[in-house]
Structure 1
């Protein structure tokens, strides 16, 4: 007899051990680490037009090439430095995305100069608590939402780019602003039990 209550991980993570580890340990976990939120934001921009696993497999390379996602260093990249990055085969070489990393680092530093952290910025949109969704099938999970559209619009006004509503929704999922693990996935209840302030 079939057990309809059997718990299985979200189907999207089963193709690669790196994906499965990311799903099991990071995706959907409420994140308040400023450095990692900035890292995810830049990596989500790199993902545009690509699969997340393509970027995830190069995350350590990006940490090396992108100065460990130090916003001050990225904001100060010279044209020569950016050209060297574009010649580095360890990352996805795309001029628009490299330029975007610098632009977003500068926009982020402007936010900080105004006394606003990315942590406080993003979590304010959900009043400090992750949105707990109850999706049963992968096809139920949206690519974007009215909230991701709102955040995207605001970030663009602040000078960020490669922050369209689909990219921002992926970012919200990655940093645990929303819990989009399927109800059949054991990580759904595990992430729901976590509290961003606790």
Structure 2
């Protein structure tokens, strides 16, 4: 789950394909998305990340990965798991939308608004409602496949 969160936060303001093409570089650079290691990054590791041409070298986003790793662990302690916490925003069941056209798919929802706001209160960075809506789509919390899509019923 932290991998999705980290990739979505780095994707903010960029195209998703850019992040997908760099996914393995992110995996190597960020210790296989091990949030316990990321939470402990020091300045030398941050400097190395900012010089790594294989990832997005945005200083604020690199720092946010560390802040978010720490906040991720705090949520695990409070709720037992991050997954349990975020799924609570959709009553622990996926939202099954019924869109006819891609143009109808929103960029946010009341659930992503609420989750975004709560994450921000808990200290997370780069977790606006649009980023969180994309996270919810990527993790199966929201099915936004149009009804004519071959994946609609499978998801």
The alignment's TM-score, normalised by the length of structure 2, stands at 0.97
Cα RMSD (Å): 0.9
- 1:24-66, CA deviations, whole angstroms, 9 ceiling, x for partnerless residues? xxxxxxxxxxxxx111011100001101110011111101000
Residue in 2 that maps onto 1:157: 121
Query: Paired residue for 1:120?
Result: 84
Alignment partners' CA distance in 2, 1:145 and 1:130: 13
**Structure 1 runs (4+) greater than 6 angstroms displaced:** none
1:140 match: 104
| Contact preservation (8 Å) 2:25, 2:54 | yes
| Higher alpha-carbon Rg | 1
Residue deviations 1:131-188 (CA, integer Å, cap 9, x gap): 0001111110000011110000000111111000000000000000000011110100
Q: Is 1:59 aligned to residue 15 of structure 2?
A: no
SS in structure 2 opposite 1:125?
helix
Deviation, 1:114, is 2.3
- Cα distance in 1, alignment partners of residues 49 and 60 from structure 2: 12
- Whichever structure has more helix as a proportion of its residues is 2
1:68 equivalenced with 2:32 (yes/no): yes
Report the TM-score, using the length of structure 1 for normalisation. 0.76
- For 1:112 and 1:44, locate their aligned partners in 2 and report how far apart those are by CA, in whole Å: 19
